[in-house]
Amino acid sequence: MASLIYKIIDGRKYYYIEESVMENGKPRIVKQVCLGTLEKIIEMTQRVKAGGIEAPSYSETFEFGASRALFDVSRRLGVVDIIDSVVGKGPRGLSVGESLTVAAINRAIAPVSDKASREDWFRHTVLPDLFPSVNEKSLSSQGLWGKASRLTRERARLIEDAIALKVFENYGIPADFLLFYNPKFINFNDSEFRSRSAADFKIAGLPLTVSTEFNAPLLRETIFDNANDAQDISQIIDGFQARLRESRMNPDITFVFDREKKSAANFDKILQKDPFAFNFVGEVSRKRGALLFETLKAKCIPLKGDNFDGAKAFRSKIEEYGATFTAIIVLKKSKFGNTVLFTNRDNWTNERIVSAFGARRRVEAYFKRLTGDKFISFIPKTHLSEGDIIVYGLICALAFILSSAIKLEFSRLGYNQSVDSILSSLSICQQIVNYYEKNNKTSKTYSLTPSPNMVIKYFAEYSIHANSAAEKAVGKKRAPSDAK
């Protein structure tokens, strides 16, 4: 079904012809053609009627902005080369690194699991020109698992460590990490999700580290419920620190937890044994916190900075686990919640402590995206084994790292928006290919649809091919579609 719609871009209306089909009772867009502004449509119509311009025999549009930006970031970080250096390129066709990169780009902007949907998505982007070795088998689940079969847990760690180092080298961010632990993240079994009862599911935890500046989990583990040491957070922290040191980074890791997760990973037992086993920022129990909060809330003063939404805090001391810790009473307006934090980071300011605890919202947003269906989704239809979970975990981690790199690049241009908002803005930018058939020959012209100023500025600054001539060259290998 085709319809005429418009989008407002930088205050102007741009008209599109949009084709959609119904899938599972919901419409899915399969094609969009930008016609331009109303003035442009009238001008082009008049020129065609006057014979001043040749009308194309037919046109096609391909998603350009988001897929191209993610591809460019993967090139800047050397993702394909890093993966292939760890696991090898594999048989002919797409290398392992290319296969996982394509899968990560798909997870970032249009998560699908079945082969038909993946092929349809891929064909309507500019990626066929950037990955010319793609064939029908490359996009099948069999092809992906065949390529990734050599991706062991240890190799996945080596890949993530190398990419993390690239992120730090490319963007110059400090090795200042916050560690979060979600003890019950992935539910999976060996058949369709909806076909089994809750008792049949296995559970995996997902500890992960997030850089305080780079809002993405650079290092993570997938810990299954059958692992004997899965609940020992001190071992997890030691493992992350060792990985970071081996990657030539000098890590500074702080474990962050709220009151609901304080007992996770035997955390209570560890602190009772050694209150300074690792650095942490946590939330005291509700009962203890309420008493301290009521006693000291009148002494709270505003936190400094624009990111605290009027929150106030007061610094004190608290006895926990047989030791004295710094306590921060937080009186909030909206973001942080009235709460009492405690930490062994005595040299940190109130603002830094509250920010570290507030960062859990980024991680919660990360988990929400992984279980969503628009951007960066984790959930495929089936999980066949723990090995498949490790592969999916790496793909989703790559998707989030690439997207977060784009977010960081936009922020350095002065655009502080969410990952989802940025990907949506990038997806507005489409490539138009006009086909002209004459004397049994077909010629083509390339152009890009109007895009928000922030997208134009971004590609001018960061794109591998920033000039218009190079952009028009993108797609030169694409064969005309059979469907006109």
Closest to 366 measured CA to CA, from 234, 259, 165, 215: 215
**Which tens digit of pLDDT belongs to each residue from 51-86?**
666 777 778 888 999 999 999 999 999 999 999 999
Whether the pLDDT of residue 361 is over 80: the answer is: no
Label the pairing between strands 301-302 and 312-320: antiparallel
DSSP 322-345: TEEEEEEEEE-SSSS-SEEEEES-
19/4 Cα distance (integer angstroms): 9
Domains of the chain: 2-63+437-473 (2.30.31), 64-275+357-436 (no CATH), 280-344 (no CATH)
Maximum mean pLDDT: which of 137-146, 254-263, 315-324: 315-324
| Number of Cα atoms under 13 Å in the Cβ half of residue 190 | 3
Write down the pLDDT at residue 337.
62
399: Cα separation from own chain's centroid? 5
More confident residue, 89 or 30: 89
Q: Where are the beta strands (DSSP E) in 246-322?
A: 252-256, 280-283, 301-302, 312-320
Write down the pLDDT at residue 229.
39
**Which tens digit of pLDDT belongs to each residue from 158-214?**
998 899 889 888 888 877 777 776 655 544 444 444 444 444 445 555 667 777 667
8 Å CB contact between 320 and 275 = yes
At 26 the three-state DSSP class reads strand
Q: At what angle do helices 386-412 and 96-109 cross, to 10 degrees?
A: 70
